[in-house]
Amino acid sequence: MSRPKPPDLSAFVALRPHLLGLAYRMLGSRSEAEDVAQDAWLRWAGVDGDTVENPRAFLTRIVTRLCLDRLKAARLKRESYVGPWLPEPIIDDDSLRPDLMTELGDDLSFGLLLALETLSPAERAAFLLHDVFDLPFTEIASVLDVSEANSRQLASRARKAVRAGRRKTVDAPAHQRLVGAFLGAVASGDLDRLKTLLREDVVAISDGGGHARAALNPIRGADRVARLFLGLARKNVGPGLELRPLDINGATGLATFFDDRLDQTLLFETDGAHISAIYLVRNPEKLDHLRRVVEPAGAASDRA
């Protein structure tokens, strides 16, 4: 009896960004996406290479199903999560983009990721596989174990929900100007100036996950949000504090450092004229992978 042929390991390496990008969008977590990719690698290493005609389709199916399993468990965890849940911020977004050009391929914004959170796991998978990763519905039906017609319905329902919940993307220069003006107004303590930068219905959402101090409910309204950030700035002022611009999830955001140690990230949604939403990620478990990139080499050992 002949021995199974080992799979093409180089095929997995080439497809890893595609798989990571799918898993991150499905789960909203870079660390979990890495775990899923590792699980997929182990399964790929154990298959008979002669039985796989299309590595991309095979591995996409594995990653999608692994993510669906994790989403079922995540729903239970979210019920006991302390305060609002936000995705993990990322700065290496180029490594998570699809290998095919699609309308939403460049969108890794929190706005889109939070819109995906409103979908069922099957809707999320059908939408991402078709609208972002450009898979035909015949393949999606096979991945989800549903009929082709059902896969189309899932994607259609998801698309309508995403369009309703996702704000219009603005050009990068306008977004950068608003973030820069926000930083300047906070640094100067100018309440009136800061309020003019915010939409009247602006919302600020903080994710501490029970591991860092954060508001347990969204803060709404220009006056309340402006006073929140000016209060935080006054409370934390000191020689070791630094607020740096940083490209986060494909757009200009801000990162707060204390003595070169990353404390939180701020991501912004803008409409071109005003800031419409601010997302503060303070949960240290969601910042670990960023710290390895943005902190000086000695900061991590100092914290330990």
The model's confidence at residue 88, banded by pLDDT at 50, 70 and 90, is very high
Mean pLDDT of 252-266: 94
The model's confidence at residue 303, banded by pLDDT at 50, 70 and 90, is low
Q: What pLDDT is stored for residue 49 in this prediction? A: 76
**CATH 3.60.21.10 correct for 9-165:** no
In the chain, ranges of CATH 1.20.140.160 domains: 9-165
Fold adopted by 172-303: Nuclear Transport Factor 2; Chain: A, (3.10.450)
In the chain, ranges of CATH 3.10.450.50 domains: 172-303
Tell me the per-residue pLDDT of 210-229, one tens digit each, with 9 for 90 and over.
999 999 999 999 999 999 99
Q: What pLDDT is stored for residue 170 in this prediction? A: 77
- Between 238 and 82, where is the model more confident? 82
Q: What pLDDT is stored for residue 124 in this prediction? A: 97
Quote the DSSP letter at residue 286: G
Q: How far apart are CA 135 and CA 236, in angstroms?
A: 48
Mean pLDDT of 244-264: 93
Tell me the per-residue pLDDT of 26-50, one tens digit each, with 9 for 90 and over.
999 999 999 999 999 999 988 887 7
Three-state SS for 144-205 is: HCCCHHHHHHHHHHHHHHHHHHCCCCCCHHHHHHHHHHHHHHHHHCCHHHHHHHEEEEEEEE
Phi/psi for 162 (5° steps) reads -65, -45
Q: How far apart are CA 149 and CA 220, in angstroms?
A: 41
Does the pLDDT at position 114 exceed 70?
yes
Contact 271, 199 (CB under 8 A): yes
Q: How far apart are CA 127 and CA 154, in angstroms?
A: 7
- Between 215 and 170, where is the model more confident? 215
The strand pair at 251-258 and 219-220 is best described as unpaired
The model's confidence at residue 241, banded by pLDDT at 50, 70 and 90, is confident
Q: Whole-structure pTM over 0.85, yes or no?
A: yes
Q: What pLDDT is stored for residue 2 in this prediction? A: 55
- Between 200 and 2, where is the model more confident? 200
Three-class SS of residue 223? Answer: helix
The region of weakest confidence among 151-155, 238-242, 265-269 is: 238-242
Q: What pLDDT is stored for residue 185 in this prediction? A: 96
**What sign results for the dihedral spanned by CA atoms 180, 183, 189, 194?**
positive
The model's confidence at residue 299, banded by pLDDT at 50, 70 and 90, is low
